[in-house]
Structure 1
Amino acid sequence: MSQSSHSPGRNGPIALVFNALVVSFMLAPLLIVCVVAFTPENTLTLPTHSLSLRWFEAVFEHPDFVQSFWNSLWLALGSATLSTALAVPAAMALTRYQFPGRDLLNGLFLSPLIIPHLVLGVALLRLSNLVGGSGSFGFLLLAHALVVTPYTLRLVVASLVGFDRSIEQAALSLGATPARTFWRVTVPMILPGVSGGWLLAFINSFDEVTMSIFVTSPATVTLPVRMYMYATESIDPLMAAVSALMVGVTALAMLVLDRLYGLDKVLVGGSK
């Protein structure tokens, strides 16, 4: 009894130091990039002697980067929404019903997690040529939805595991239709998991570069692909400014989600 009571105190500081080191290791590159973005110099300089918005202004004066940003934004919004629309009914079928091919279907939905995006890019490039969708925004949207659906599916599945179906049955017994029960009872209870899956899908779509290189066209170049193309020619603080803006978009999305639902509920995919 005494050993178990002293164990947390003995391991607590070690765990805190370890967590602090991990968090520092993860955040240090992002912080350095964000700091470098404010340099007035023509090169990536750290430490900088003064702060300037010069390179942020240069980003908005660069039409290719602005257009690529909008391409990435609309693509991420569309693919995240499409993947969520697919993941919710798929998760309900996988968690509530037993049918032939259930495990195969689950593996099919999760397969983009284990297939290298380089391989996916080559396969999707070939497919786009066969179906006549090469370079189109619609095919790029479907390709991104394919890649991000596993993230949405896993969080929605986590929300449905342990779901108390007696609440749905009570609504049905009181005269609610199945559709009304779904929208007024089921969806609100699994909304944190659905929202978290949508957010992960949005972030992964917005940051996707490897697969996008193969299926984009000059009119549908995404921001990560544009950054990759720019980096092959030159490296300057403009790249740091674009990266800082991408970090800001991601942080803003997480902040909004935290204000609406709470990240603690979203990340566990559960509901209270």
Structure 2
Amino acid sequence: MTRNGPVALAFHALVVAFMLAPLVIVCLVAFTPGDTLSLPTTGFSLRWFRAIFVHPDFVQSFWNSLRLAALAATISVAVAVPAGLAVARHDFPGRDFLNALFLSPLIVPHLVLGVALLRLFALIGATGSFPWLVLAHVLVVTPYALRLVIAAVVGFDRSAEQAALSLGASEATVFRRITLPMILPGITGGWLLAFINSFDELTMSIFVTSPATVTLPVRMYMYATESIDPMMAAISALMVALTAVAMLLLDRVYGLDKILVGHN
């Protein structure tokens, strides 16, 4: 170990602690039996977790967010797979422009996107429509799916594809039997990342949701403007737990190291 080893280890430990501290505090506050956000607490209670289920608005908003995130993630992956294959494997006029176009939502503030989409939906008479809300989320989360798909495509050996083609397999068969299974970890990781970002999206959703399509983050924001109590911490703790479980399952099935580096 070098002289800088302990210093570097301590620095990384401090960075990780700084990032995790807010999540840990929120999860601890969620179990408080009191009526206010306070830490340390006088004890542990499931009071505020039970309170979530007696608010039908939160339950409905959860299902809205779940359905919205699942649809948006699935559509984004359906777009990202052919786009990723085209960008990663072919050199054609406008390739760089196409790649930049797909990734542009990452650099545009969601506040700007929300205002622009609100105006667009008002002009075409689609304000409050759930399908258009799904498309708005697809616009935001597609770049996350695309980056992981591109990483998966770039990272695998094409010799199996070439061997199958030389033996007479059609391009469709090669894609279905070889290419798709080999890039599946990247596709799955892209879907999950898109799902999480869609489920957590707040800034843009405030502008394009309607009373019938309010998502959970928007509902939480609306509730927090009227009352701040530990129920918000309980909902946040459940969202953290769901995300952690999803990442754990993904790691068990595919391995996060394979997904992140794009190798199989």
Name whichever of 247-256 and 107-116 sits farther off.
247-256
What's 2:199 paired with? 206
2:13 and 2:118 map into 1 onto residues whose CA distance is: 43
Q: Which residue of 1 aligns with 2:213?
A: 220
Q: Distance in 1 between matches of 2:208 and 2:261?
A: 33
Among the aligned pairs, what percent are the same residue? 75
Q: Give the C-alpha shift of residue 166 in structure 1.
A: 2.1
Give the alignment partner of residue 159 of structure 1, picking from 152, 157, 160: 152
- Inter-partner Cα distance in structure 2 for 1:15 and 1:197: 31
TM alignment of 1:5-154, pairs within 5 A = 8-154=1-147
Looking at structure 2, the residues matched to 89 and 57 of structure 1 have their Cα atoms a distance apart, in angstroms, of 44
Please list the CA deviations of residues 219-251 of structure 1 after superposition, one character each: whole Å capped at 9, or x if unmatched.
100000001101111110010001111111111
Which position in structure 1 is the counterpart of 2:234? 241
Among residues 249, 252, 259, which one is paired with 2:252 in the alignment?
259
1:162, distance to aligned residue in structure 2 (A): 4.2
Q: Deviations over 1:47-68 (max 9, x none)?
A: 1121100000000111010000
Distance 1:222 1:213 in 2: 9
Distance in structure 2 (CA, Å) of the matches to 1:19 and 1:241: 29
Q: Deviation at 1:108? A: 0.6
Q: Is the 8 A contact 1:155 1:196 kept in 2?
A: yes
| Aligned AA (2:120) | L
**What is the one-letter code of the residue matched to 2:30?**
A
Compute the displacement of 1:270 (Å).
2.3
More off after superposition, 112-121 vs 184-193: 184-193
TM-superposition CA deviations, 1:93-143 (whole Å, max 9, x none): 111111111111111100000000000001111111122221011001000
Instruction: Work out whether residues 152 and 259 of structure 2, in 8 Å CA contact, stay in contact via their aligned partners in 1.
Output: no
Q: C-alpha separation between the residues in 2 aligned to 1:97 and 1:153?
A: 15
5+ residue gaps, structure 2, are none
CA RMSD of aligned residues (A): 1.0
**Which residue identity is paired with 1:102?**
R
SS state of the match for residue 154, structure 1?
helix
Q: Which amino acid aligns with 1:195?
A: T
Partner amino acid for 1:100? P
> Hey, what's the Cα distance between the residues in 2 that align with 1:214 and 1:188?
39
Q: 4+ residue stretches of structure 1 with deviation over 6 A? A: none
Structure 2 Cα separation of the partners of residues 270 and 225 of structure 1 = 37
